[in-house]
A = this chain, B = another copy of it.
Amino acid sequence: ETSVTLYGRVDGGIGYQQFKGTNPTTGESFKGSNTGMANGIMGGNRWGLKGAEDLGEGLQAVFVLENGFNLSDGTQSDGMFGRQATVGLKSSSWGQLDFGRQTTVASKYLSGVASPFGADWGQASVGSAFSAINSVRYNNMIMYQTPKFSGFQLGLNYSFTGNAGSQGFKTSGGDEPNDKAWGAAVRYANGPLAVGLSYDEYKTSEVRVDGIGGDRDTAIKSWNLAGSYDFDVVEVHAAIGQTRNGWFKHVSAIDYRDIGGTDDMTGRQSWGAINDAKVNSYTLGLSAPVGANGKILASWVMADPKDGFGADRQDKQHFYSLGYTYKLSKRTNVYALGSYGTGVHFYDDLKATQFAVGLRHQF
């Protein structure tokens, strides 16, 4: 029995990104583009340590320590083990209890069911329109997951600080200094069918807002429902969801701050708590095998802002994406992605285009 497994994923290639639109303040049109190295398109670059020790009677001690990094410049993306840092107990009879930072159960259970692209593949990500299943990670979190009963599994997570790392002290009579977040998700898998349902809340602190911008003392809420069915020749994916009072995680599309550093453009990226905001999210997708080693992926994801955004941000955001992977081995594949979006970040005429080809290797 080995006590630790070293694993990881390296993913790099060449990419092109373009955006164009009109500055809502100045009325001037703008356009920017970029050709360069693509980094972690099929999934964030990572390496990690993990292990499971049998303690007898179906009980295991488990841990995962996972670092995320940029292949393009070698920097880490989010803390030493910013992707996951957990220790837990796993029982064949009562399930699994984990302590530490990791992705929410909503993200774990739903993103891969909702879209063939999951929460990866650049702007093709289901996270471009669905916030609470977009690889959301919390610190200071306790997670409980049941065993799988007849294909069902239930998961619950509670975080004492949400995105913030350190826990403030609440003084008697004082305001709550910490963000709080909790979520629940259930999934069902039976042969070709997979279904997931989730609910999440993120309560921003009363005195300050850590990690997630916007209003204080706000409960951001999101429910999401996803399903997929594998017809062998094609697997179909669909999901619907709603996010209120803000957004759980930023749309992982282009960072418009690069447009030219204008304050207005910077603001486009800043989502977080927004009282009374409401966004409905929809996606349809499919994947189909092509020969023994190939696979085509396609999806449409849409986010429809109902309330809470300014007068110039009323547009529906659509992303249309097409991907292809080809396995060179069980651990290595090449891939290609093309994606086009309109109404990006709900700006009427903001359009985003992304192309990438790359190589992914897992160890």
Interface residues of A (CB under 8 A from B): 3-4, 6-8, 10-14, 17, 19, 30-37, 45, 47, 49, 51, 53, 55-56, 59, 61-63, 65, 67, 69-76, 78-89, 99-101, 139-142, 160-161, 165-172, 174, 177-178, 254, 258-260, 328-329, 331-332, 358-361, 363
Q: Using Cβ atoms and an 8 Å threshold, which residues of chain B touch A33?
A: 169-170
Interface contact B4-A4, CB-CB below 8 Å: no
Most buried by B among A32, A45, A65, A87: A87
Interface contact A12-B361, CB-CB below 8 Å: no
Measured CB to CB, the nearest residue on chain B to A77 is B80
Q: Can you list 17 contacts pairing A with B, beta carbon distance less than 8 Å?
A: A8-B49, A10-B65, A12-B86, A14-B99, A34-B167, A37-B99, A37-B100, A37-B140, A37-B141, A47-B65, A51-B363, A53-B363, A55-B332, A61-B331, A74-B139, A75-B82, A76-B80
> A227 to chain B: closest CB distance in Å?
32
Q: Using Cβ atoms and an 8 Å threshold, which residues of chain B touch A85?
A: 10, 45, 69-74
Query: How distant is the Cα of A19 from the Cα of B203 in the complex, in angstroms?
Result: 25
Chain A, interface SS category:
strand
- Decide yes or no: A32 and B170 within 8 Å by CB, A55-B328, A74-B101, A85-B74 being known contacts: yes
- Decide yes or no: A13 and B53 within 8 Å by CB, A331-B61, A359-B88, A363-B3 being known contacts: no
Query: How distant is the Cα of A198 from the Cα of B155 in the complex, in angstroms?
Result: 52
Query: How distant is the Cα of A61 from the Cα of B160 in the complex, in angstroms?
Result: 42
Interface contact A73-B139, CB-CB below 8 Å: yes
Interface contact A30-B171, CB-CB below 8 Å: yes
Out of B7, B75, B80, B359, which one reaches A75, CB within 8 Å? B80
Q: Using Cβ atoms and an 8 Å threshold, which residues of chain B touch A32?
A: 169-172, 174
> A148 to chain B: closest CB distance in Å?
23
Interface contact B363-A31, CB-CB below 8 Å: no
Interface contact B361-A87, CB-CB below 8 Å: yes
> A51 to chain B: closest CB distance in Å?
5
Most buried by B among A6, A12, A254: A12
Out of B73, B83, B167, which one reaches A36, CB within 8 Å? B167
Q: Using Cβ atoms and an 8 Å threshold, which residues of chain B touch A65?
A: 8, 10, 47, 69, 74
Q: Using Cβ atoms and an 8 Å threshold, which residues of chain B touch A258?
A: 168-169, 177
Closest 8 CB pairs between A and B?
A32-B169, A73-B165, A12-B99, A36-B160, A73-B139, A76-B80, A74-B85, A74-B81
Measured CB to CB, the nearest residue on chain B to A65 is B47
Interface contact A74-B84, CB-CB below 8 Å: yes
